[in-house]
Structure 1
Amino acid sequence: MPTADLLLHPVRMRILQALFDTDPLTTNQLRDRLPDIAPATMYRHIALLTDAGVLEVAEETRVRGIVVRSYRVRGEKAVIDPAARAAMTQEDHRRAFTAFVTSLLADFERYLGHEDADPTADGVIYRQAAVCLTDDEFAAMIEEIEQAVVTRVGQAEGEGRTRRIVSLVVLPDRTASGQ
């Protein structure tokens, strides 16, 4: 299965997102984080991701005679490399973006489903801005944004820290410039 097809499935994206930058999780812990995914579906997608090497078994323990596996993401395998991205058709990109937005909507719905959800107090932000930049200025801005996020990845929850999902979409606005 091509990497883009593997990674850009809505359920698999959500599983990977739940596992990014956390301690390894068991399937039951993943089901607690993603309760709307049916158990059989969860197991099937975990198996696909594991077989493809995107997930790895971090630990196996026996619990009442059953082997319980904890999984973690292999970061280097959980990305679509530039060559594969360049080979994607417009329809592939449309499907990929739809999967991304679907995953984002599911995350937002899950958040709002909590009785104590308070978007203002919790710092929920969704915003768009138009910037006019040269290609070099654009590349520098993307590098700054990525660096700002990457330097904060890996800090454990607790001690006043809340896990937050940061998503970025960048699109050229060709209608504004008449291109």
Structure 2
Amino acid sequence: MATADVLLHPVRMRILQTLFDADPMTTAQLRDRLPDITPATMYRHIAVLAEAGVLEVVSEKRVRGTVERSYRVRPEQAVVDPAARAAMTREDHQRSFTTFAASLLHDFDRYLAGEDAEPVSDGVVYRQAAVWLTDDEFAAMVEEIENAVVSRISNAEEDGRVRRIVSLIVLPDKAASKKPAPDAGTKQAAD
């Protein structure tokens, strides 16, 4: 598993998101998908990810005197290990979340920039919900969500299938949980 510093850099996160569950891509193909990243920056960050074992080379071929490599993500290496997460400070989490949110914004902007973007018919969904759960109920819900997504990751690209990016953000709402308990003699209003 890689460190948070390796994975949570804005450019490296965008490279990983582009490669996740996609066919292997060359640096040139990645540059076509991420045209705002300069070639030198792209090569440098791919090298960091490859050196950390997050990307692996799946093929090499000679093109005009150079070697062109195709890369894919090693999913088991593309996560911050639990010990590294536990060692992260609040500032580290703030920086990491900001990078993640910026990456989501970039993905959405890229989608909307497409001439054929139709958010309603394309099934674009962004919503938030608050749920009251015990720790056990929360763990079960996370497992259900992970299973729902992971069970579909190996779907092949076929007619009618559209590649969709699924992101999940879970935060405790501690402010809501610190409400004073109702007085024994006070009747609660029904929702």
Same fold per superposition (TM over 0.5): yes
2:56 corresponds to: 56
2:16 corresponds to: 16
> Aligned equivalents of 1:154 and 1:49: distance in 2?
23
Instruction: Tell me by how many angstroms 1:37 deviates.
Output: 1.3
1:120 corresponds to: 120
> Aligned equivalents of 1:87 and 1:133: distance in 2?
26
Instruction: Tell me by how many angstroms 1:38 deviates.
Output: 1.4
1:135 corresponds to: 135
1:80 corresponds to: 80
> Aligned equivalents of 1:55 and 1:30: distance in 2?
13
1:155 corresponds to: 155
> Aligned equivalents of 1:114 and 1:36: distance in 2?
15
User: Equivalent residues in 2 for 1:168-179 (5 A)?
Assistant: 168-178=168-178
**Which letter does structure 2 place at the counterpart of 1:131?**
V
2:187 corresponds to: none
Unaligned runs of 5+ in 1: none
Larger Rg: 2
Aligned-partner SS, 2:70: strand
Aligned-partner SS, 1:21: coil
Aligned-partner SS, 2:116: coil
2:37 corresponds to: 37
In terms of mean alpha carbon deviation, does 33-42 or 82-91 score higher? 33-42
> Aligned equivalents of 1:130 and 1:88: distance in 2?
26
> Aligned equivalents of 1:158 and 1:41: distance in 2?
33
TM-score w.r.t. structure 1 length? 0.96
**Which letter does structure 1 place at the counterpart of 2:168?**
L
1:10-44, CA deviations, whole angstroms, 9 ceiling, x for partnerless residues? 11011011111111100111111111211111111
1:63-115, CA deviations, whole angstroms, 9 ceiling, x for partnerless residues? 23221100011111110011111111100000000000010000000001111
For the aligned residue pairs, the C-alpha RMSD in angstroms reads: 1.1
2:90 corresponds to: 90
> Aligned equivalents of 1:116 and 1:19: distance in 2?
22
Unaligned runs of 5+ in 2: 180-191
> Aligned equivalents of 1:59 and 1:37: distance in 2?
23
**Which letter does structure 1 place at the counterpart of 2:138?**
F
